[in-house]
Amino acid sequence: MEDEAFSNISGKAISLDCQTHSSFCREFTVSSPKMSIGKVMVYTCSVWLLAYAVFFFTENTAVLSSAILITLTGMMLHIHFVKVDHESLLVIGSLGIQVSSSYASGREVTTFIEMSRIKDIVINEAVYLNQIIYYLCVLLKEPSEPNVVSSVVPLFQSSKPRLNCLAKVYESCQEILSKCQ
Amino acid sequence: MGQRRKVGSTNTPSSQSESADASKVHSRKHNICMVSDFFYPNMGGVESHIYQLSQCLIEKGHKVMYNQSTATTCFHSLPLLRCVFVRERITVVHAHSSFSAMAHDALFHAKTLGLNTVFTDHSLFGFADVSSVLTNKLLTVSLCDTNHIVCVSYTSKENTVLRAALNPEIVSVIPNAVDPTDFTPDPSQRPPDRITIVVISRLVYRKGIDLLGGIIPELCLKHPDLHFLIGGEGPKRLVLEEVREKYQLHDRVRLLGALEHKDVRGVLVQGHIFLNTSLTEAFCMAIVEGASCGLQVVSTRVGGIPEVLPEDLITLCEPTVRSLCAGLEKVIAKQRSGSVPSPTSIHSRVKNLYTWKNVAERTEKVYDRVAGEEVLPLDRRLRRLRSHCGPVAGSLFALFAVLDFLFLLLLRWLAPDRHMDMAVDATGPNGLWKENRKNSDAGC
Amino acid sequence: MVLKIFFPQCCNRAESGLLVGRWISGHDSAVVLAVIHYPFIPAQVKQYIQQMQAQSRVDLTVLGSWSLPKDGQEGMESFLRDLSTIFPQERWLQIRRQFGKTGFSCEVLSRDQICGKNPGEKAEKKKKKSEEDGGDAEREDEEKVIFVHYEQRKVMLSQLHPVEAQESGNGSEPNSELRQVFGTVARSQPLFVLDRYDDGPLRSTHWQSEGREASIVVELLKRASVPLGLLLGRMLSVWTWICSARILSVFPLRFLFSKLSTCVQLSYRTERLQTLGAPQAAPQAAAHMDFMRKANVLVSVLLDVSLGVLLMSWLYRDQNIAMLASNMVPAADRVAQKLEELLQWLMGAPAGLKMNRALDQVLGRFFLYHIHLWISYIHLMAPFIQGILWYGGLSACLGLTFALSLLSDMVALFTFHIYCFYVYGARLYCLKIYGLSSLWRLFRGKKWNVLRQRVDSCSYDLDQLFIGTLLFTILLFLLPTTALYYLVFTLLRLVVVLFQGVLHLSVDFINSFPLFAMALRICRPYRLAEGVKFRVLCEEPGTALHLLMEINPLKCSSVVQTYRTPTYSCYPRDSWVALVKKLFIGELIYPWRHKTTKSD
């Protein structure tokens, strides 16, 4: 069990937690930084100031209450659907790979991919907005045609770690996969 | 201006980091970035030129990567190009074709980023109409601080120097080449009882397809054993189809549609005469390929074509129907009398004229020369733009250059270079592929 | 390879006994289904397993032994080992749980170890010793086993998605390991009938259904539903007999029926109800889909009818119908008046545009006459409107969808004049556009080649060119007038179409929404499984890895996607771009559903 600090592609600090449950079962957790209070304050204040400015001219109190409502629902939606707290990858040799990401509100989205559908795990390059980044992905195959890559599941989509972090995860994943083949 | 738009999949640079020695950058090894809008899988002269040149340079141990895009505006390509240049540790940017918007973009931004640039011009241009006046102005601006320009023929050099108001000393001529092993003659493929004329080009106005439409019925009426074999696709295909229907020539004029590069030889060897009807051409690779396959070449006397082949291998005509017909008649008569040189002898003469190895060596010399030059700092660049490109356009583009520079500063602040991962060189003699198979792109 | 043992949670604390389950071929994993306790007679166990195998069509076997020693119980080990000779297997699992420890330990004995008994025993003894010492070799051996704990009841009841059609009992086994586990547990339902508290010859531990009383109620309901179903079926057959009568399939009637949305809805509903009475499909996966479909249809019909009754109760209260009817005629009058004003405006110089006066007048008068006709028609109808509404309202007892369809039909009938205007305008406009386009081709020395579907060049002689050019000019100058009329009436028509589209959409929504599946997803999330998720359970050094398998419920969006009842799609047949293009060249657009676009 070790906890290491890395940075993601935009330079923010993230941490990689690598837990070894057994020789063929490892869990990697990439935690993004927590939501900063300052940022929340800035957004909230700006919305409220704007609302107050509108209120100043229109003298309609509904504006103020709606501004409060908007900030609250906005924050809730952000926490529930956008802000990912940590993403984890559970590799269980000969059983499969489980990818899960948990949001700041505690909501968890999990997918399990069976070993019979996994072709390989690779690091690939992609154009992301105006940059080119490396990302880790699982290549899937259909059991009927084992030599064709049918689809690609990108991992750590929201935290986007840099290459040194990806390489570390990649190496230990390959170790398990090669052991269980 | 300067909006950072999302670059979709149309903009995907097919980055092929193919060869490397990144750790110990040798003084004579360069990291070259080829930039153009044209690339495989499209077919054409520029595309194959870039591909073959890259392959030869990789063999020589340089690192070449390739960048392609279809839609660009002035500024939004800067972040992406910067990312590519920084990641791949590019030292020389090599842009191709004056038709390519991205090539101009890359030249402009590379200067802002402080990289040396080379430009290869593949086409000829007029001076008279509005579009060429505008293109020429753009070319003047983007070539004004390019370190070196490569043209494919002397005509093209003359043309480029005039258009872009350049110092002729920084313009060199390096012709295109063909792979002689790909284009070998095979006379047994020719049908014995007829004479076949082969035309292979894109079916567009520039390639003189309207002339071809005039030639076909005239010659077919005179010679009943004459057949045409036409490869390529384009908007002018309709003209040929109409001609074919009007004169009932379905069995004698075959339209093959778009051909892949590997199929071209199979078509060429079926013919006796290769016909090229281009209206403008800087360096015609098609006629070299035709001659290499042992065909008699008939071509229009335009652009750089006269310097491509020795005079006894080519019949040159004026770009009119009558002149072309006369030229073809002459060659057909020669063919009938059997007084033409054998295909193998033609092939052996053409074989050593243009090789990619030669081209790559000469291009390498250009890179060596360019790499030593200093990149103008911003103030001198601006002064040069002002003095070189005229007061209005010069000032305008100087403003662009300043904006570009400011944008670059902003980008450096938003996403510093140290946050970018250096590209891992996967294949090649010094690549990491075999050691720990880090970047298995296609999944083995 | 790593051996995976799927172990039911309910057997965690079971007394020592025999493990009954199944080896999954090709995946090196075993599913434990139940534990049979001591004491038992081996022959009875064998007989029982054979019986179960016949019932469930799962190749059940004795997997091995399970021991959970109580306080002071020792010396079970040699007995357990002897059992393996009684039930000869390829591999024999020996799972032990120390009292007070959470982890299990497992030994795998292969056949030759069992047969060559004497050397084997020695080896075992050595092993045992080394295990007690916590030796390295033993741990390595132990780490090759994964225990996956699952909740038997949830896995048995859940259905893995996407449902595979070929997943039948006797056919080829599915490729996926999880599917095989789920299938095995689901099919071995007969095994779970054996009661823990029965005084049979065998006692066993497995998931035990609770509450027999509830199942009696269910049974009674089932009994009661049989005559009800019969009655419904009889009524349906009479209704379909009427529908299939020959007189109804005469051309004009059939055409009319296919255009009236009420009739379409009626036939759709009949079809759905007929599927309810269809016999059960045989294979398991198909049976599940069939059951879900029927349940969805039933629930949505019930909801529809109850909403309809609600609507009816509102309609027939406090003279609501009379009020509606009395408002109807003035509303139609007002619309007609507005239209007349619009036409008058168009006949002058609308928005300062200068139109072709003669054509403008002709068109305007033509449309005015139509409005006049329409108004007299409405006034003729006025006394009957209340009656129509009253009887139409009765249709709501068949369901809200019927009421909505009827409303849509009535709107179509009441706005027939707008439809007429639109058709006249569109036809005229279309004619002009076609004429102009072909004359424009003539203008450029081209013609349309019908045979090859392309534009060819063609040389015209002088007269043709002269006449063509003249006609082209005339058409071009008359175009704005026609285009204006076309534009205005198309906009009117689009408003009506939009309204009808909204009605159709809501009808379609009620018809197709999988209400039952949605309720199941919310109340019993494990019934519809998208997959599984694993959690790493306790870790005690030296024991095998323990995972907990939980069921990952299906996402709501995919629930809707999977269980949507197929309907006639009522979206526009073509994309928005195609629609705009059609409008531009003046082709007619219809809101009607088309049978060809049936989505399945």
For the stretch B188-205, pLDDT in tens is: 888 888 889 999 988 888
Beta strands in B61-155 (DSSP E): 63-67, 92-96, 116-121, 148-151
Q: Kindly report, residue by residue over C415-471, the tens digit of the pLDDT.
A: 888 888 889 889 999 999 999 999 999 888 888 888 877 888 888 889 999 999 999
Asked whether residue B282 is domain-assigned, the answer is yes
Mean pLDDT confidence for B99-108: 82
Q: What is the pLDDT of residue B35?
A: 83
Whether the pLDDT of residue C209 is over 80: the answer is no
Asked whether residue B1 is domain-assigned, the answer is no
Whether the pLDDT of residue A81 is over 70: the answer is yes
Q: Which amino acid is at C75?
A: G
Q: Examine the domain organization and report whether B247 and B154 are in the same domain.
A: no
Q: Examine the domain organization and report whether B202 and B347 are in the same domain.
A: yes
Q: What is the pLDDT of residue A124?
A: 86
- pTM of the entire predicted model: 0.75
Whether the pLDDT of residue A5 is over 70: the answer is yes
Q: Subunits touching B (CB < 8 Å, at least 3 pairs)?
A: A, C
Size of chain C, expressed as the number of residues it contains: 600
Single out the residue in B354, B382, B402 at which a domain terminates.
Answer: B354
Whether the pLDDT of residue C125 is over 50: the answer is no
Whether the pLDDT of residue C411 is over 90: the answer is no
Q: Examine the domain organization and report whether B26 and B170 are in the same domain.
A: yes
- Distance (Å) from the C-alpha of residue A119 to the closest C-alpha of chain C? 14
CATH number of the CATH domain containing B408: 3.40.50.2000
Per cent of chain C over pLDDT 90 is 5
The residue assigned the tokens 């323990």 is C546
Q: Pull the structure tokens for residue B274.
A: 């290769």
Q: Examine the domain organization and report whether B419 and B373 are in the same domain.
A: yes
Asked whether residue B4 is domain-assigned, the answer is no
Is the separation of the CB atoms in C538 and C103 below 8 Å?
yes
Q: What is the pLDDT of residue C139?
A: 42
User: If contacts are CB pairs under 8 Å, which of residues 132-171 in chain C contact chain A?
Assistant: 143, 146, 148
Least confident segment among A73-82, B54-63, C220-229, C426-435: B54-63
The residue assigned the tokens 């070539």 is B143
SS3 string, chain B, reads CCCCCCCCHHHCCCCCCCCCCCCCCCCCCCEEEEECCCCCCCCCHHHHHHHHHHHHHHHCCCEEEEECCCCCCCCCHHHHHHHHHHHCCCCEEEEECCCCHHHHHHHHHHHHHCCEEEEEECCCCCCCCHHHHHHHHHHHHHHCCCCEEEECCHHHHHHHHHHHCCCHHHEEECCCCCCCCCCCCCHHHCCCCCEEEEEECCCCHHHCHHHHHHHHHHHHHHCCCEEEEEECCCCCHHHHHHHHHHCCCCCCEEEEECCCHHHHHHHHCCCCEEEECCCCCCCCHHHHHHHHCCCEEEEECCCCHHHCCCHHHEEEECCCHHHHHHHHHHHHHHHHHCCCCCHHHHHHHHHCCCCHHHHHHHHHHHHHHHHHCCCCCHHHHHHHHHHHCCHHHHHHHHHHHHHHHHHHHHHHHHCCHHHCCCCCCCCCCCCCHHHHCCCCCCCC
Q: Examine the domain organization and report whether B38 and B172 are in the same domain.
A: yes
- Spell out which residues of chain A touch residue C146, defining contact as CB-CB under 8 Å: 25, 92, 94-95
Cα distance between residue B208 and residue B279, in whole Å:
5
- Spell out which residues of chain B touch residue C457, defining contact as CB-CB under 8 Å: 242
Q: What is the pLDDT of residue C271?
A: 80
Q: What is the pLDDT of residue C595?
A: 41
Select the more confidently predicted residue: C95 or A172. Answer: A172
Locate the chain B residue with the closest alpha carbon to C449: B242
Q: Examine the domain organization and report whether B217 and B173 are in the same domain.
A: no
Q: Kindly report, residue by residue over C412-426, the tens digit of the pLDDT.
A: 887 888 888 889 889
Single out the residue in B295, B330, B354 at which a domain terminates.
Answer: B354
**Phi-psi category of B81—alpha, beta or left, where left has phi over 0 and alpha has psi -120 to 50?**
alpha
Q: What is the pLDDT of residue B316?
A: 92
The residue assigned the tokens 């081709």 is C441
- Give the structural domain span for B312: 187-354
Asked whether residue B2 is domain-assigned, the answer is no
| Whole-angstrom Cα Rg for chain A | 21
Cα distance between residue C191 and residue C20, in whole Å:
10
Q: Examine the domain organization and report whether B47 and B158 are in the same domain.
A: yes
Cβ pairs A/C, distance under 8 A: 57
Asked whether residue B129 is domain-assigned, the answer is yes
Q: Examine the domain organization and report whether B370 and B381 are in the same domain.
A: yes
Burial class (CB within 10 angstroms; exposed 0-12, middle 13-18, buried 19+) of B379: exposed
Q: Kindly report, residue by residue over B155-189, the tens digit of the pLDDT.
A: 888 888 888 888 888 899 988 888 778 888 888 88
Q: Pull the structure tokens for residue A163.
A: 């290459």
Look at A112 and C552 and tell me if their CB atoms are within 8 Å. Answer: yes
- Distance (Å) from the C-alpha of residue B219 to the closest C-alpha of chain C? 22
Asked whether residue B442 is domain-assigned, the answer is no
Q: Examine the domain organization and report whether B291 and B367 are in the same domain.
A: no
Q: Pull the structure tokens for residue A40.
A: 């929340």
- Spell out which residues of chain C touch residue B240, defining contact as CB-CB under 8 Å: none
Single out the residue in B335, B354, B373 at which a domain terminates.
Answer: B354
Q: Examine the domain organization and report whether B345 and B203 are in the same domain.
A: yes
Distances from the Cα of C148 to the Cαs of C30, C215, C273, C511, in angstroms? 10, 31, 44, 42
Whether the pLDDT of residue A134 is over 80: the answer is yes
Look at B419 and A123 and tell me if their CB atoms are within 8 Å. Answer: no
Q: Is C558 on the interface with A (CB under 8 A)?
A: no
Is the separation of the CB atoms in B341 and B309 below 8 Å?
no
- Spell out which residues of chain B touch residue A129, defining contact as CB-CB under 8 Å: 4, 6-7
Select the more confidently predicted residue: B213 or C274. Answer: B213
User: Would you call C84 helix, strand, or coil by DSSP?
Assistant: helix
Q: What is the pLDDT of residue C62?
A: 84
Q: Subunits touching A (CB < 8 Å, at least 3 pairs)?
A: B, C
Q: Examine the domain organization and report whether B235 and B365 are in the same domain.
A: no
Q: Kindly report, residue by residue over C161-191, the tens digit of the pLDDT.
A: 777 654 444 445 567 788 888 888 888 877 7
Domain count, chain B: 2
Q: What is the pLDDT of residue B275?
A: 93
**Distance of alpha carbon C225 from its chain centroid, rounded?**
25
Is the separation of the CB atoms in B122 and B147 below 8 Å?
no
Whether the pLDDT of residue B76 is over 80: the answer is no
The pLDDT confidence band at residue C27, using thresholds 50, 70 and 90, is confident
Q: Examine the domain organization and report whether B22 and B86 are in the same domain.
A: yes
Look at B242 and C454 and tell me if their CB atoms are within 8 Å. Answer: no
Asked whether residue B443 is domain-assigned, the answer is no
CA-closest candidate to residue C485, choices C424, C559, C415, C570: C424
The pLDDT confidence band at residue A54, using thresholds 50, 70 and 90, is very high
Taking the CB of residue A115, how many other CB atoms lie within 10 A of it? 17
Mean pLDDT of chain C: 78
Give the mutation candidate from A9, A14, A120, A132 for the B interface (greatest B CB count, under 10 A): A132
Asked whether residue B441 is domain-assigned, the answer is no
Per cent of chain C over pLDDT 70 is 80
